[in-house]
């Protein structure tokens, strides 16, 4: 007899519930014996099942945090014009956005939430342009700002993924 999921694999195992032939790769060990994937009821972890409601909450929270972090980032950059400070401010904004969004959606995780967090860091950086002297000038400065924003996006994404 051959496995129901892998027809090229011979097996003597059967699901304890539906009696379907299964190979050791397909077998799921449960407290009541070996089961096939269908009968074992393997579902997505609740942490990674994100509903539309949570995406709306995450988007609103991320936008609010992006504006707040961008204002703080721009104000600090304007008051303390140290060139390398962006390498600290961008990851700080990314961490703050990622953490607040995570808390607002009950610590859910997922790719969609990571995208929302990454976009929020980019919006946060865009908010800094409303402060005087925030626009980068010169190739080195532009590359430096891109690296700082990429670092912030990375931090936000790792908090939400």
Domain borders along the chain are 1-42, 46-160
Any idea which residue has 């190739």 for tokens?
139
**Does residue 9 have a pLDDT over 80?**
yes
- For the chain, percent of residues with pLDDT exceeding 70: 98
Q: Is the pLDDT of residue 85 over 80?
A: yes
Q: How confident is the model at residue 56 (pLDDT cuts 50, 70, 90)?
A: very high
Above 80 in pLDDT, residue 83? no
* CA distance linking residue 71 with residue 78, whole number of Å: 10
Q: Rounded to the nearest 5 degrees, what angle is found at the Cα of 143, between the Cα atoms of 141 and 147?
A: 115
> How far is the C-alpha of 124 from the C-alpha of 161, rounded, in Å?
19
Q: Is the pLDDT of residue 141 over 90?
A: no
Upper half-sphere CA count for residue 4 (Cβ side, 13 Å)? 14
Mean pLDDT score across all residues of the chain:
90
pTM: 0.75
Residue 105: pLDDT band (50, 70, 90) is: very high
**Mean pLDDT computed over 144-152:** 94
């Amino acid at each position: 007899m051959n496995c129901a999921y892998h027809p090229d694999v011979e097996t003597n195992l059967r699901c304890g519930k539906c009696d379907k032939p299964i190979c050791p790769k397909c077998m799921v060990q449960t407290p009541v014996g070996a089961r096939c994937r269908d009968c074992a009821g393997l579902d997505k972890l609740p942490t990674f099942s994100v509903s539309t409601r949570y995406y709306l909450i995450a988007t609103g929270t991320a936008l609010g945090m992006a504006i707040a972090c961008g204002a703080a980032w721009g104000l600090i950059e304007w008051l303390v014009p140290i060139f390398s400070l962006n390498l600290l401010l961008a990851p700080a904004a990314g961490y703050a956005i990622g953490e607040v969004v995570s808390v607002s959606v009950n610590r859910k995780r997922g790719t969609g939430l990571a995208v929302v967090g990454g976009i929020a860091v980019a919006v946060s950086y865009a908010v800094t342009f409303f402060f005087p002297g925030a626009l980068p000038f010169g190739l080195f400065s532009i590359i430096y700002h891109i690296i700082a924003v990429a670092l912030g996006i990375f931090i936000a994404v790792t908090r939400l993924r």
